[in-house]
Structure 1
């Protein structure tokens, strides 16, 4: 009689171990690839450097103003070089997440103690700058907070039960005892 040779993969134990493993591997192929790096949004803090000088402040400056007057209008200069005592530099930079950096610079030149000329970038007005800073939020459907008379009539008026009248309080004494003893 000829002995049958069984294939090792046909044993019940092997099939019980191999089949779930193969099914697990094949099901992993159908799972969408996770891209954690692309989904992660990093928080980048806002970086503000320097003094913001608006168009209105620049327009307020006139040749012949003293250094003190210029400092009162524009604030302390960001750069005041020892080698260029006749020049003050005002530089403003803001870096925000999702927005290109904004850079503005203004140089104020003096002759002696008086303002001579102003050079620099085209500066935005205060309103223009604020509108650039404020993020436009989507218009959400905000419920009205004021009810019209027609809306109020839909609800029944609550009826208040008459509360019993409170019993009259006892009259207060005409004189009170002293708070502290007369002698110690």
Structure 2
């Protein structure tokens, strides 16, 4: 026990002297900034919402029902009980080394029919893809739409023959209940 007591003051004095020397040394500060600039932590890309392209916004027409709008734009990010005739499509992306992007599109309905939409200027699909790849400069953007010629390459060699015999049953319009009725 006496050996432990005699070592404690010397250890404390050594730590205090080392701390004082390090804090008073301006070259230590410059070195720490240099290390901090070289070593950067990984930052997770944050993507939220629905990306709406210029092509999708151009496909919207007044009078479309809610399901048609949902088929074109996807499920809205924000729907409110208090604003039942308004859907908000918000898209944000935050990436390391790139300015954050945020776009908003609001669709207004009268009853079940779309009345109008308004929002930010939307980029085309090709423009958006070009902004995603910030590592490679002058990168070639891939073709995003399939043409009739490119689809013919994948057509089956032998088209299926017409089926003769009993016709397929029409699709069900009523479905059985999910739970058995209570008795």
- Smaller-chain TM-score range? 0.5 to 0.7
Report how many residues are paired.
112
Q: Which residue of 2 aligns with 1:43?
A: 42
Counterparts of 2:61 and 2:27, CA distance in 1: 72
Q: Which residue of 2 aligns with 1:63?
A: 62
Alignment CA distance shift 1:36-1:116 (3 Å): same
Q: Which residue of 2 aligns with 1:5?
A: none
- Return structure 1 stretches of 4+ with deviation > 3 angstroms: 29-34
Aligned-CA RMSD value: 2.3
SS of 1:72's equivalent? Answer: helix
**What do the CA deviations read for 1:34-53 (whole angstroms, capped 9, x no partner)?**
53212212110100000000
Unaligned runs of 5+ in 2: 1-25, 139-183
SS of 2:80's equivalent? Answer: coil
Unaligned runs of 5+ in 1: 1-28, 140-184
Q: Which residue of 2 aligns with 1:120?
A: 119
Q: Which residue of 1 aligns with 2:107?
A: 108
**What do the CA deviations read for 1:75-127 (whole angstroms, capped 9, x no partner)?**
00000000000000000000000001000000000000000000100000000
Shift in Å at residue 138 of structure 1? 5.6
Counterparts of 2:130 and 2:103, CA distance in 1: 16
Greater gyration radius: 1
Shift in Å at residue 134 of structure 1? 1.5
Alignment CA distance shift 1:39-1:80 (3 Å): same
Relative to the length of structure 1, the TM-score reads: 0.56
SS of 2:78's equivalent? Answer: coil
Counterparts of 1:108 and 1:129, CA distance in 2: 21
Counterparts of 1:59 and 1:108, CA distance in 2: 13
